Structure 1
Amino acid sequence: MPKKSQPEQFTCQFFCWPIYQRPNGVWYADGRSNGAAIKRTSLGSKDREEAIAALHVLDRVQAERVGLTPRSTVADSSKRLPLALGRKLFDGHTSRPRLVGGTKANTQKRYRAIFDKFLPFLETKRIVDWHQITEQTLASYAEYLNEREYAYKTVFGELNTIKTAFKWLCTEKHLAREPLVLRLRKADCERAYCYSKVEVAAMIKHCSELSDLNWLRDVIIALSCTGLRISELASLKQADVKTKSRSLVIADESGFANGQADRRSTKSSRTRHIPIHSDLQSVLESLRHRKGNVFLGPRGGTLKPDTVRNILVREAIEPLTPRFPKRFEGQRSFEDGRLHSFRHYFCSTCANNSIPERIVMSWLGHSDSEMVRHYYHLSDEEALRQMENLDLVGKDAGRSGVEEVR
């Protein structure tokens, strides 16, 4: 006679439960010998995942009954929300069509990565449903991320996303709770390094002298003359170059109904126009023979941001670093420059040449920008020079002119 199989042992927050399937496929839990003080109980489903979710609810209910934990403010167990179900609801909310408030594909991808990390952390704390998450839970998670040396801005972004998801679940009545009240201090960290004009010129010259880096020279010139993000430059097509108006059109194509998989989506979801500087014009003319994308990678394929960044550091920044050493210990210098530093360089150059702030923001694709304000604040010396050029009271009026105004 074959030996009778032993039930699977599944550990929840409070009890270890023997679980098994009846011949009809329905899952059952046995609480007779684990201290839960309950007989064999149906979990009400043939689906294991659904049965486990029900088991977590049963585990807490029985723990409350035997006094292992205080009774929840949510008396109706049907109001409880397992972690997986809450995440599924929020994922469905964010993946709606953008027309009705959904998020971009990249945003959804970022959210998935956050919850892929957060939910396993909750399991280590024996937290199985959203009702158990508190402000202290988030504080513990922040400490967990800090111990693993995540950047301040990363921790801030992840906790803010979790708070947003929790608030939405409360607002939509999936949770009989108030939103989490945890004030997060926004990072006031150092910005990306901003290249100087001399440093940009040195990189261009260096790449011009090496034939296999000519493609990188063109990329550096384009980024320096437009302030484009590397992803925007990589997706720039010949059709985006308007020779008659001498401008680049960075179009958000997410609303197009052409069914193309490579439709471009800008960060601001706005289409913008950038005048073509004469230094960039010569580069574009040399690349006019290409079809499709304007800028290509080192082997003639698609320009990939990660590849460009790695080659920029290895082939341009590292060889030139001895020429531009760090002035003070702990201060960012040329060796810390990356692709986004060209965007800062463009903004800084515009500010120092007195181009109106609103125009620069439209070129960069911002309706409001802390980065732009930062560089316009840094150009106070230029602002003072411009102020001195104004004839406000009449140069020949002298002191008497001032007295007359009074």
Structure 2
Amino acid sequence: MEETERTPVGDRVTIYPRGKKKIYVADFWRDGRHCRQSLKTTNKKTALQRAATLAHELAAGELRPAPERILVGRGTADYLAWLQTEGKARRTLVKYRGVFQILEEYLRGRHVTRLDQFTVRHFDEWRQERKAVRHEKTVYNQSVIVKQLFSWCLSRRMISANPLAGVRLSKPPLVPKAGPSLAEVNRILAELTGLKKTMVAVLAFTGMRAGELQRLTPADLDLGDNWLRVVSRKGLETKTRTSRNIPIHARLRAVLEPLPESRKPWLFTMLPSDQYPDGDHWINIKKLNEDFQAAVARAGLPVGRDHGFTLHSLRHFFETHTVNSHVPQRVIDHWLGHHSDRSMGAVYYRLTDADSQEFMRKLPLGDGNETQDIIQKD
């Protein structure tokens, strides 16, 4: 290349055509490093205009190094590591990791391996594919997670621009799902025996989450003071990362009192197996849900998430039954472990232990006569 082909622009930039296509590039120094940047044009006049802008940014200190081209897998791994550092729950990390694995598999099929190759079109097509196999609400939640990923990557300068910055997602309308009535709960319980029946009764008459039931220890059952204690432990946090006490209704107390004392780590455990011969492993929620839905079917009731009942439907039952029994909403929120109430009641209301016990005592759940066989062995 001849020296006459190089054209200075300002004090720090020089341009010249390069390669067979004679595309102009800018040559300059920044932070002690030699840099060369394509001006993406073969027209000298256009190249001079772009080089002038570049020279101005250099003089003003506004031009920063272009981000390194980061693989999608590295971006998701770094984001997950940051979430863990921020103390996010294990369940949240597992959920996010699953979403990123689905996204990366989709992108590999489109030969997209780097974060800077991802476009809005990829995002839209991915969401369309997900809608064909998943519920609208699930796709919305997964889309939010992907948007959070790229926003975080921009904040860490893994990408020079966020391709999803202008994307607005429409949140699906909340469709309340009905839970079983008290009569239907009784029919379901009648189809169960042994500890399965006990566990379903605990879920139905406390409203706790299945994962909270799984992590109950013998010490959490306090019959002396009439509490079931839902404790958020390190590594086994509750969804809201807070602990709470739920009073034991008289009907549920009749079920729990005959339980034998146990030195096992969990209040409810699986039966002995080859893998856990001591029978000290906590319960399998998926298996319990399958057993519950089988009982629902035997009771002649609808089964499934869309139009029937699952184990989680027992929280819907408890919420509905307690509201209809005129228990104050703030009391119910405390029992259920809900922290999403934006009313000032969340700030000013204080539930005393005595009031909590009294509200539970008055709750009409029946006398328990039909549940005397709950603790019988399978």
Task: Classify the TM-score, shorter chain.
Answer: 0.5 to 0.7
CA distance in 2, matches of 1:325, 1:303: 25
Name the structure 2 match of 1:317: 296
Q: Secondary structure at the match of 1:355?
A: coil
Report matched runs for 1:17-166 at 5 Å: 79-96=68-85, 101-147=86-132, 149-166=133-150
Post-superposition Cα deviations, 1:62-119, rounded to whole Å, max 9, x if no partner, equal 9x799xxxx9x999665333323322321221121xxxx2312221111111111112
CA distance in 2, matches of 1:137, 1:87: 17
Which runs of 5 or more structure 1 residues have no equivalent in the other structure? 1-34, 38-60, 208-212, 255-262, 371-406
- The answer on whether the counterparts of 1:252 and 1:271 sit within 8 Å (CA) in structure 2 is yes
Pick aligned residue for 2:339 from 367, 385, 390: 367
Name the structure 2 match of 1:32: none
Moved more, 356-365 or 111-120: 111-120
Q: Secondary structure at the match of 2:228?
A: strand
CA distance in 1, matches of 2:283, 2:337: 21
Sort the Cα spacing of 1:88 and 1:216 in 2 relative to 1 into closer, same or farther, 3 A: closer
Name the structure 2 match of 1:171: 155
Give, in angstroms, the shift of residue 284 of structure 1: 1.3
- The answer on whether the counterparts of 1:227 and 1:346 sit within 8 Å (CA) in structure 2 is yes
Sort the Cα spacing of 1:201 and 1:311 in 2 relative to 1 into closer, same or farther, 3 A: same
- The answer on whether the counterparts of 2:296 and 2:302 sit within 8 Å (CA) in structure 1 is no
- The answer on whether the counterparts of 1:251 and 1:270 sit within 8 Å (CA) in structure 2 is yes
1:285 aligned partner, one-letter code: E
Post-superposition Cα deviations, 1:219-273, rounded to whole Å, max 9, x if no partner, equal 221111100111111221110112232111111111xxxxxxxx53111100111
Give, in angstroms, the shift of residue 204 of structure 1: 2.0
Give, in angstroms, the shift of residue 136 of structure 1: 2.5
CA distance in 2, matches of 1:202, 1:363: 24
CA distance in 2, matches of 1:352, 1:155: 33
Sort the Cα spacing of 1:187 and 1:78 in 2 relative to 1 into closer, same or farther, 3 A: closer
- The answer on whether the counterparts of 1:135 and 1:180 sit within 8 Å (CA) in structure 2 is no
- The answer on whether the counterparts of 2:223 and 2:257 sit within 8 Å (CA) in structure 1 is no
- The answer on whether the counterparts of 2:137 and 2:172 sit within 8 Å (CA) in structure 1 is yes
Pick aligned residue for 2:217 from 218, 224, 237: 237
CA distance in 2, matches of 1:75, 1:127: 25
Post-superposition Cα deviations, 1:330-353, rounded to whole Å, max 9, x if no partner, equal x966xx111011111011111001
- The answer on whether the counterparts of 2:69 and 2:115 sit within 8 Å (CA) in structure 1 is yes
CA distance in 1, matches of 2:77, 2:297: 46
Taking only the aligned residue pairs, the percentage that are identical comes to 22
CA distance in 2, matches of 1:325, 1:124: 39
CA distance in 2, matches of 1:65, 1:146: 41
Which runs of 5 or more structure 2 residues have no equivalent in the other structure? 1-19, 23-36, 43-49, 55-62, 273-278, 343-378
1:229 aligned partner, one-letter code: R
Name the structure 2 match of 1:280: 252
Post-superposition Cα deviations, 1:370-406, rounded to whole Å, max 9, x if no partner, equal 9xxxxxxxxxxxxxxxxxxxxxxxxxxxxxxxxxxxx
Number of aligned pairs?
Answer: 283
1:126 aligned partner, one-letter code: H
Give, in angstroms, the shift of residue 189 of structure 1: 5.1
Sort the Cα spacing of 1:102 and 1:235 in 2 relative to 1 into closer, same or farther, 3 A: closer
Name the structure 1 match of 2:229: 249
Post-superposition Cα deviations, 1:27-68, rounded to whole Å, max 9, x if no partner, equal xxxxxxxx999xxxxxxxxxxxxxxxxxxxxxxx99x799xx
1:181 aligned partner, one-letter code: G
TM-score for the superposition, normalised by structure 2: 0.67
CA distance in 2, matches of 1:325, 1:294: 30
Sort the Cα spacing of 1:65 and 1:140 in 2 relative to 1 into closer, same or farther, 3 A: farther
Name the structure 2 match of 1:307: 287
CA distance in 1, matches of 2:197, 2:109: 50
CA distance in 2, matches of 1:267, 1:232: 9
CA distance in 1, matches of 2:293, 2:77: 40
Give, in angstroms, the shift of residue 311 of structure 1: 1.2
- The answer on whether the counterparts of 1:242 and 1:249 sit within 8 Å (CA) in structure 2 is yes
Give, in angstroms, the shift of residue 171 of structure 1: 1.8
